[in-house]
Structure 1
Amino acid sequence: MKVKAMMKENNALREQMTPFNRSYFEDMILAMRASRVERVRAEELLLEAARLLLQGQSKGRNAKQIFGESPEEYFKDIMDSVPARPERSKLNYYLMIAWTALTLMFSVLAVGGLIAKWSGSSADLFSKISVFTLILVGFGSIVLMELLVRWMSSLSENDAPGFRTFNIKALGIYIAIAVVVIFAGALLDNLFPVITVSPWVSLALGAAGGLGLKFIFLRS
C-alpha cells in the first residue's frame, strides 16, 4: 500500500476515535513522523497502532491503557530497531519547506501581477524582487515550520488547553533567529540587488515549483 493510501486510511480511522484517544494518537503521529524511521515503515506502524487503538476503544479502553502514559514511548523500541532514513532526508525536508515557500511566493506574485496588468494598473509591485527577499522567504519558512512543529508537539494529550514539558531553550533560539532575520532584512534588503520578474515568468516558476513538489518531494 502506498504512503498516501495509508495516510488516507489512517485519517479515516482517527475520525472513529474518541476526542481523548484521537488527541493521544495524534501525539504518536508527531513522534513517529519526527523520527528517523523510513516513511513507508512509519505509516505502516501508525496504521497498525490506529487499528489496535480502535479495537481497544470498542472494549471500553482508552489510549493510555493500551499504549501507556507517554505516546512517544510506545514506538521507542521500534524506532531503534528499524532501518533509519538516509542522512540526507532531513536536508530534503528543509529543502521541501523552502521550495514550497518560494513556489507560493511566485504564485502570489504571478496572480497579483496579472490582475494588475489586466486592470490597467502598474505591476511593478509584483515584478521587482530583492535577492535578499528570496533568501529570507526560503530560510524564514524553515524557521517558522520548526516553531510550528515544536508548538504542536507541546500541546497537552487531552482536549483541554495546556502544555506538557516544553523545550524553552530551543524555542528561544528559534525566536532569536527569527528576530535577527527580520532586523537583518530591514537593514540589508537595500544592499542586495533587485531583479525584475514579469508576472508570466512568476507564473511559470510557480507552476514549475508545483510540479517539482509533486514529482521530487512528494513521491510515494
Structure 2
Amino acid sequence: MNAKQMIEENNQKREQLTVDNEKYYSDLMLYIRTNWQVSEQHTEELLLELLDHLLEGQKEGKTAIDIFGETPKDYADQLIEQLPEEKKRSWFPFIATLFVQIISYVLIIRGLVLLVFPLFTEVNDQVNIFSLLITTIFLGVVVAGVVRYIFKVIHRSIFEENKAAWKDPVKVGAVAAVSMGAIILLSVWLPEIGPSFHFTWWLSLLFGVVVWSISKVFKRN
C-alpha cells in the first residue's frame, strides 16, 4: 500500500479503539507525523503496525498504557530514532497544494471586490507584473514558513503537561496575522515597475475557480 492508502486504513481502524486508547494513539500518531524526519511511507507503515498491535491488545483487555507505556513521548522518540532517515519526507506537495489554494482564494475574493466596489467607488483593476511576481514569491516563502512553524508548535505541545489551551492558537494566530500584514504591506509599497495589464473581475473569478479546482486535484493525488 502507498501512504495515502495506509492513512485511509488507519482512519477506519481507529474507529474500533476505545475512547482512552484512541486518545493515547491519536496523540502518538500526531507526534510522529509532525516530526517530519522520515519518509511518509515509513511513518505510515509504523503507525499502522502500532495500531494493529494496539487493536490486538485491546481484544485481550489491555490498554494503550499497558502496551506502549505511561510515557508516550519517550516511546515515540525511540521509535523515530529507529526509523531510517535516508529518505526524508518532502514538504513540497503539501505546501504547494496549500499555496495554490491560497492563490485561488485571493483571486476569488479580488473578483468579488472588483464586482461590488465599483457600485460605491472607483476601482483600478490593473495589475503590475513586477509587483505581482515579487508578491507571489514572497507569499510562497511566507506560506512555507508559517506551515513549518505550525507543525513545530503542534509537535512540541502534544505531550506538554499543564499547558494553557489558549497559548498555541494565540501564537499561531499572531504569526499568521503578522505574515498577512507583511504581504499586504509589501503589495502596497512595491513600486510599479514595467508593464501592467487589466485583470477584470470576471477573469479574476474565473481564474480563481480554475486554480481552486486544480488544488483539489493535487489534494486527491
Q: If the TM-score is normalised by the length of the shorter chain, which range does it land in?
A: 0.5 to 0.7
Name the larger-Rg structure: 2
Query: Where does residue 168 of structure 1 map in the other structure?
Result: none
TM-score, length-scaled by structure 2: 0.65
Listed as ranges, the matches of 1:20-169 within 5 Å are: 20-34=20-34, 35-68=36-69, 69-71=71-73, 72-80=76-84, 83-85=86-88, 89-110=90-111, 112-113=112-113, 116=116, 121=119, 127=125, 131=132, 134-135=136-137, 137-157=139-159, 162=163
Deviations 1:1-49 (A, max 9, x none): 3443322221122233234332332233234333243333332322222
Q: How far apart are the structure 1 equivalents of 2:190 and 2:182?
A: 14
Q: Select which of 177, 196, 208 maps to 1:206.
A: 208
1:197 CA drift (Å): 2.8
Q: Return closer, same or farther for 1:15/1:125 CA change in 2, 3 Å cut-off.
A: farther
Unaligned runs of 5+ in 1: 164-170
Tell me the amino acid that sits aligned with residue 101 of structure 1. I
TM-score, length-scaled by structure 1: 0.65
Kept in 2, the 8 Å contact 1:107–1:203? The answer is yes
Aligned CA RMSD, in angstroms, stands at 4.4
Deviations 1:120-172 (A, max 9, x none): 846977956663654554343333323332332234449x9737xxxxxxx79
Q: Return closer, same or farther for 1:23/1:137 CA change in 2, 3 Å cut-off.
A: farther
Kept in 1, the 8 Å contact 2:101–2:211? The answer is yes
Kept in 1, the 8 Å contact 2:135–2:186? The answer is no
Tell me the amino acid that sits aligned with residue 100 of structure 2. W
1:184 CA drift (Å): 7.4
Kept in 2, the 8 Å contact 1:103–1:206? The answer is yes
1:79 CA drift (Å): 1.7
Query: Which runs of 4 or more aligned residues in structure 1 lie more than 6 Å from their structure 2 counterparts after TM superposition?
Result: 122-126, 174-178
Q: How far apart are the structure 2 equivalents of 1:12 and 1:123?
A: 53
Instruction: Provide the secondary structure at the position in 1 that maps to 2:62.
Output: coil
Q: Return closer, same or farther for 1:115/1:25 CA change in 2, 3 Å cut-off.
A: farther
Instruction: Provide the secondary structure at the position in 2 that maps to 1:30.
Output: helix
Query: Where does residue 191 of structure 1 map in the other structure?
Result: 190
1:94 CA drift (Å): 3.4
Kept in 2, the 8 Å contact 1:98–1:139? The answer is no
Q: How far apart are the structure 1 equivalents of 2:105 and 2:182?
A: 23
Kept in 2, the 8 Å contact 1:106–1:203? The answer is yes
* Larger relative contact order, structure 1 or 2 (CA cutoff 8 Å, min sep 6): 2
